[in-house]
């Protein structure tokens, strides 16, 4: 197991280096002048040159990359052009909101999908199965930008149960979490159903039933654990996406997270903050998937022995 973890960490470091370099190149090599885009067409040549020098864009590309990597290793992401604050402080202020929303959305998805997918597998071709698959189809088909306003109209404006937007208290989290978790729960429910159907036909499941174990014990302790790897794959990928900032959901509910800050920074042409947000989104995705790989090895020894 230690060798497996070390190999995954080394692979992650290689991927992180590639991601950081790629983000740097994408920002610096895109067509057009980012300084001109930030200051607008009415900017004077003197202002353009001053900002270009302040950002270090007047230096050779290799020098810029080296300075960027050196500052990054020291935890220096630069300063916001809009607020003049250190970017690291802005990220520390905003990231907990995105983390909170992602965790709540994932919890909603699991609470909906786990019983739904399990019942659909255990009652195959019944009305429960058909209803669960109909919910999955609706969940995948309904986009966040439609479901979010619909929930606001019903539960905030009509019934007055929850706040319309913002991050004031625990009630403010309910509607964004449901909006974010519904689509994931639909995908997860279908995955749980399909993997459970495969596992429930295995010989060891019949053996467990022949021993007289209760059906709940067979499903929870034998079937679900052996069906967990594909489910963890979906959870890992989706959690990485959620941590990256569910931009649409955060915009709809004015949730002060990384997704909303990215859009605001793009509108303000705050180039260093946009770069930092993209970097944080990418690294979150990579780190979550690394954790998923390590969890694979813990759940299934065959995974770590194959390394």
Residues 175 and 284 in one domain: yes
Q: Is residue 171 part of a domain?
A: yes
Give the per-residue pLDDT at 297.
66
Compute φ and ψ for 77, nearest 5 degrees.
Answer: -100, 5
Q: Give residue 42's domain range.
A: 2-73
3-state secondary structure of 86: strand
Q: What is the pLDDT along the chain (307 residues), one digit of tens a residue?
A: 666 677 777 787 888 888 888 877 877 766 666 676 666 667 777 777 777 777 777 778 788 888 888 888 888 888 887 777 888 888 888 888 888 888 888 888 888 888 888 888 778 878 887 888 888 778 777 887 888 888 888 888 888 888 888 888 888 888 898 888 888 888 888 888 888 877 777 777 777 777 777 777 777 767 777 777 777 777 777 776 677 657 788 888 888 888 888 888 877 777 788 888 888 888 888 887 777 777 766 666 655 545 5
The count of other CB atoms within 10 Å of the CB of residue 103 is 15
Residue 182 lies in a domain: yes
Question: What is the predicted pLDDT for the residue at 267?
Answer: 78
124 and 16 fall within a common domain: no
Given 34, 57, 73, the domain boundary residue is 73
Count CA atoms closer than 13 A to 44's CA, side-chain side.
3
The total of structural domains in the chain comes to 2
Q: How many residues belong to the chain? A: 307
* Rounded distance between C-alpha atoms, residue 143 and residue 247, angstroms: 13
**Domain assignment present for 176:** yes
Whether 218 is covered by a domain: the verdict is yes
pLDDT at 11: 80
| Same domain membership, residue 66 and residue 108 | no
- Tell me, yes or no, whether 125 lies in a domain: yes
User: CA quadruple 54, 58, 63, 66: dihedral positive or negative?
Assistant: positive
Same domain (yes/no): 68, 121: no
Q: For 175-231, what is each residue's pLDDT tens digit?
A: 898 888 888 888 888 888 888 877 777 777 777 777 777 777 777 767 777 777 777
Long-range CB contacts (within 8 A, 24+) of 282-286: 282/19, 282/23, 282/244, 283/16, 283/19, 284/240, 284/243, 284/244, 285/240, 285/241, 285/243, 285/244, 286/12, 286/15, 286/16, 286/19, 286/240
**Same domain, yes or no, for 105 and 69?**
no
User: 22, exposed or middle or buried, with CB in 10 Å at 0-12, 13-18, 19+?
Assistant: exposed
Question: Looking at residue 183, which CATH number applies to its domain?
Answer: 1.10.3720.10
The pairs formed by 41-44 with CB atoms below 8 angstroms and a separation of 24 or more are none
In this structure, are 105 and 17 located in the same domain?
no
Predicted local confidence at residue 245, as pLDDT: 55
Q: What is the pLDDT of residue 40?
A: 67
Give the pLDDT confidence score for residue 38 in this predicted structure: 67
Tell me, yes or no, whether 55 and 152 share the same domain. no
- CA–CA distance, 148 with 102 (Å, rounded to integer): 15
Contact 172, 162 (CB under 8 A): yes
111 and 60: one domain? Answer: no
Cα–Cα distance measured from residue 148 to residue 154, given in angstroms and rounded to the nearest whole number: 10
Whether 9 and 139 map to the same domain: the answer is: no
- Domain-located, residue 93: no
- Shared-domain flag, residues 274 and 139: yes
- The C-alpha R_g of the chain, in whole angstroms, comes to 24
């Amino acid at each position: 197991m230690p060798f497996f973890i070390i190999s995954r960490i080394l692979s992650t470091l290689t991927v992180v280096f590639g991601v950081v370099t790629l983000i740097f190149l994408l920002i610096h090599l895109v067509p057009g002048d980012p300084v001109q885009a930030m200051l607008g067409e009415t900017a004077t040549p003197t202002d353009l040159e001053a900002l270009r020098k302040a950002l270090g864009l007047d230096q050779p590309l290799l020098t810029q990359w080296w300075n960027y990597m050196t500052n990054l290793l020291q935890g220096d992401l630069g300063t916001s052009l809009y607020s003049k604050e250190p970017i690291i402080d802005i990220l520390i202020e905003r990231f907990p909101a995105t983390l909170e929303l992602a965790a709540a959305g994932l919890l909603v998805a699991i609470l909906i999908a786990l019983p739904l997918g399990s019942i659909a597998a255990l009652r195959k071709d019944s009305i429960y199965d058909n209803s669960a698959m109909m919910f999955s189809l609706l969940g995948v088909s309904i986009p966040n930008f439609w479901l979010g306003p619909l929930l606001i109209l019903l539960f905030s404006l009509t019934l007055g149960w929850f706040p319309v937007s913002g991050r004031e208290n625990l009630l403010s989290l309910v509607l964004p979490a449901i909006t974010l978790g519904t689509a994931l729960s639909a995908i997860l429910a279908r995955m749980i159903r399909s993997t459970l159907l495969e596992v429930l036909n295995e010989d060891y499941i019949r053996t467990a039933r022949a021993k007289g174990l209760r059906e709940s014990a067979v499903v929870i302790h034998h079937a679900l654990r052996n069906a967990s790897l594909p489910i963890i794959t979906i959870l890992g990928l989706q959690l990485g996406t959620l941590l990256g900032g569910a931009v649409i959901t955060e915009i709809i509910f004015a949730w002060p997270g990384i997704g909303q800050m990215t859009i605001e920074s793009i509108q303000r042409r705050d180039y260093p903050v946009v770069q930092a947000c993209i970097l944080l989104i990418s690294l979150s995705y990579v780190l979550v998937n690394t954790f998923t790989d390590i969890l694979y090895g813990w759940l299934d020894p065959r995974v770590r022995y194959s390394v």
